[in-house]
Every structure is written in C-alpha cells, then in structure tokens.
C-alpha cells in the first residue's frame, strides 16, 4: 500500500518534519505541525495523511500533543477509523490467567 503514495506526499512529509524539528519551542513546533497537518488534510488521501503523521511520530519522533493541534479533531474524524482498521484491537472482555 505505501508504494502507492504519491511522490509529492512523500517529499512534503520529510520537508515538513525537518522544518517542524527546527522549532525551538513547543509552541512553535505545534503551530508548524498544525499548519502542515491542515495542508495535508486538504491535499492528500486518508492513507497519505495517516502515513505522514506516522512518519512524523515514529521516524522523526516529533513530540506532539493532540490538544495543542487545532486540526487534530478533523484528523481523528477523517483518519481514526482507518487507523483502527489497520490495527485490530485485542478482545479485552476475556480475563487472562
């Protein structure tokens, strides 16, 4: 699936991540991340948006707090179901011995 991502999404993901990491304060990091997340939500597919966020968090280890991102609710509403479908939840109703 990841091989179907557009080259543009891939390039912008890394460019944006590097720019976010240049921020010296937590506030400016979140302002930049929020701006780029908003652009991603406007420009890309759910798969590409999810991949961008996953790359920022895993590869670049950008510390982001959802409460500080104005676009997080839209990201969650649009991409949350897709994310949960990729990672099935374990049955938590059973007690383990």
pLDDT per residue rounded down to tens, the chain (97 residues)? 445 558 899 999 999 999 999 999 999 999 999 999 999 999 999 999 999 999 999 999 999 999 999 999 999 999 988 888 877 666 555 444 4
Yes or no: say if 52 and 20 are a contact pair by the CB < 8 Å rule.
no
**pTM recorded for the entire structure:** 0.82
């Amino acid at each position: 699936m990841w091989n179907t991502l557009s080259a543009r999404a891939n390039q912008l993901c890394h460019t944006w991540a590097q720019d976010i990491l240049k921020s010296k304060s937590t506030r400016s990091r979140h302002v930049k991340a929020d701006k780029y997340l908003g652009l991603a939500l406007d420009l890309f597919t759910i798969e590409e948006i999810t991949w961008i966020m996953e790359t920022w968090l895993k590869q670049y280890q950008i510390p982001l707090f959802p409460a500080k991102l104005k676009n997080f609710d839209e990201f969650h509403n649009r991409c949350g179901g897709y994310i949960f479908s990729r990672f099935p939840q374990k049955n938590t109703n059973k007690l383990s011995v």
